[in-house]
Structure 1
């Protein structure tokens, strides 16, 4: 109980001192200081930027099991008034990464007392999950080759699901998503003589209409799964009544249950946008931001999570459909081939993720720790 209180104190300290993606230097130092007393066999710092990896070796040969947590917070002003509210203006842990870090720190404490019997366990704290870049940065780091896992696991707290209940599925667990930015360039003109310019107004409107219709069209083409297109912003010229506009921007979020579906969304959105622009004599270019591939659970990974829940008598739910939110953990399962992410219920009355009043439930810390620990027991064994 005393150590649990220390973990809750750590969680609240992390909550008070959030850092944005790829700026998590102080957060990484806090985690590093916590792990020093756990005597890991290897410590890797500055992994993929500010990331960390702590390696616990077994005495016999066996698989490498990686457990991932996230370091970063969000650019959201917290509205809670409790004593551990964020002390950083405009930044807060509204995705619960403070809780995830505390869970994996708790796991490190257990591994310091009961080392794996075979293989090794890597506890990885990655930067920049919120931008979709952190896992890519970690996997591309040259030092990650020596840490490459055979199995990879992660969790995410999930408001709306019963407190402490697990949700998991084999196959796609989180959707692929990305922000698409379409730039249209024509020619400005005096508003009294719009015929002397090339306005992108009609093309912008037609592109928006085509984007909204795209999900149903690709389903009709036989692309399986669900797909969403959400226009989030559009801008035509500048506010100047004497000028006919010459440029426009359309911003849209593309989302799909599969990486194949995402590829089709991009391919077709670019194709009809180019066609419409060319018909009106406009130039066109595309940018992408917040790129997340689908996070896909293997059947073996899912089974290991379910086995842990059954052993621990933790209630669980096998999902029929993927979660619609996105996560960059798919980079790890794509590397490991086996593994899974699961959701851990934050309570049915909890504020939603990314809401300014969200706070991670501390009661989830021992639940998450014990599930990960049992997965490790299944794969690597534990001493003692």
Structure 2
């Protein structure tokens, strides 16, 4: 048995790793978060709830307002050693929840439909444990990160001058994963999540009377040409292929809702996705060229802007091994097929300065998918996920 595995398994019931009371209270706390969702960059009350939850665990320091509304709790051994960061997300989604649950969202058009409320409850459970079991060496940082859904939060946290004082050596995270059986996880070294970015295209011509369209400059032909042309830039295939790429048209509009006006403007929104960051430059160049060509052929002006920029997530070998040891110690089976995820995650930015890795924890089969209006985080994941992270703490900080 190697050293990391021995340390991961050297946690006894006497340590009361995850008491039933903690799980019950953190489940109810998740329900509070679920009732009061806040979108990316707006997580004021969510952050306040996190701070109130953390305070009784007596961290050595709580940093607030990190990169917006981020919160970081520091549990310091006062001995030299590794700084380990465990990270979760604060934000919800702009989707109307369809649910009869007693804790359903009370905010019209907003809901926790990705499970970030559950991820917070997991770290809250770890915080309870850390309040009773300080690390023996180094530090543990519990990072409640803002604005993950739009890809801006991790970059803003890292850019915050105060982040330098808590910069981790190792950073770990998880995401619940509907479609994967409970009691299973997905984990592998290398790419874990794809890179992606939103491309907003504005085509500008000149309006005219609908009876005399020849007196205007319509974007209709360019719009009709660009939708299939952009989509065709994606190579498709298996996401395991290093050259995998995908272009998804997410929105298109043209002109006014009127029968008497020939259109003078159109918009196309597309999401560009590649397996790794190295493939994104090529896709951006090709998509931009396609827009310029179509605009020139129709004598249109055009503008391109970029939004929700996510780097790909790369699992470091050493950090991956820490997670693997902890998962196996919890008898959670591990799969490596099907990775990386097509979906993006801005946790990858923390890998620029730390050995970082994340894993996917099965939320069950035949359940609603992430971002579905009827999705709900399974409360049964709180205890095992918290135990996995606690075992990671034991490996890294003793």
TM range (shorter): over 0.9
* Distance (Å, rounded) in 1 between the aligned partners of 2:244 and 2:138: 39
Q: 1:342/1:280 Cα in 2 relative to 1: closer, same or farther (>3 Å)? A: same
**1:376 lines up with 2:388 in the alignment:** no
| Residues 131-159 of structure 1, C-alpha deviations (whole Å, 9 max, x = no match) | 11111111111111111111111111110
User: Partner residue of 1:102?
Assistant: 121
- Counterpart of 1:323? 341
**Structure 1 partner of 2:145:** 126
Aligned counterpart in structure 2 of residue 25 of structure 1, from 36, 39, 44: 44
Match of 1:14 in 2: 33
Determine the structure 2 residue equivalent to 1:161: 180
Determine the structure 2 residue equivalent to 1:344. 361
Conserved 8 A contact 2:193-2:339: no
Instruction: State yes or no: 1:256 paired with 2:274.
Output: yes
Deviates more, 1:167-176 or 1:235-244: 235-244
Partners of 1:177 and 1:29 in 2: how far apart? 31
User: What's the offset of the Cα at 1:183?
Assistant: 0.8
Q: Is 1:140 the counterpart of 2:135 in the alignment?
A: no
Pairing partner for 2:224 from 205, 208, 230: 205
1:224-303 alignment runs, 5 A limit: 224-303=242-321
Is the contact between residue 74 and residue 94 of structure 1 (CA under 8 Å) also seen in structure 2?
yes
Partner residue in 1 for 2:322: 304
Q: Which moved more, 1:175-184 or 1:308-317?
A: 308-317
Query: 1: CA distance between counterparts of 2:235 and 2:342?
Result: 17
1:112 aligns with 2:131: yes
- Hey, what's the Cα distance between the residues in 2 that align with 1:147 and 1:117? 17
Q: What SS does the aligned partner of 1:37 have?
A: helix
Change in CA separation of 1:59 and 1:240 when aligned onto 2, cut-off 3 Å: closer
1:56 to 72, 75, 99: 75
Unmatched 5+ residue regions in structure 2? 1-19
Moved more, 238-247 or 78-87: 238-247
Distance 1:112 1:10 in 2: 17
Maintained 8 Å contact 2:330/2:384? no
Question: 3-state SS of the aligned residue for 1:255?
Answer: strand
Deviations along 1:273-306, one digit per CA (max 9) or x if unpaired, are 1122123321110122222221111122211111
Q: Which runs of 5+ in 1 are unaligned?
A: none
Matches within 5 A, 1:172-187: 172-187=191-206
Deviations 1:15-55 (A, max 9, x none): 12222222211111111111111111111011111110011
Question: Quick check: 236-245 or 58-67, which moved more?
Answer: 236-245
Task: Report if aligned partners of 2:235, 2:244 keep a CA contact under 8 Å in 1.
Answer: no
Q: Distance in 2 between matches of 1:358 and 1:277?
A: 41
Q: Please list the CA deviations of residues 304-333 of structure 1 after superposition, one character each: whole Å capped at 9, or x if unmatched.
A: 111111222222212343111111111112
| Contact kept? 1:169, 1:320, Cα under 8 Å | no
Distance 2:260 2:319 in 1: 62
Relative to the length of structure 2, the TM-score reads: 0.90
Task: Give the CA deviation at 1:164.
Answer: 3.1
Count of residues in correspondence between the two structures = 376
Aligned residue for 2:353, secondary structure, equals helix
Instruction: Specify the SS of the correspondent of 2:314.
Output: strand
**For structure 1, which segment, 100-109 or 193-202, has the greater mean C-alpha deviation from structure 2 after superposition?**
193-202
- How much does 1:113 deviate? 1.5
Match of 1:216, SS state, is: coil
How far apart are the structure 1 equivalents of 2:35 and 2:294? 50
Cα deviation per residue 1:246-268 (whole Å; 9 max; x = unaligned)? Answer: 22111111111111222211111
> Which of 53, 62, 74 is matched with 1:43 structurally?
62
Measure, in 1, the Cα distance between the counterparts of 2:152 and 2:74: 23
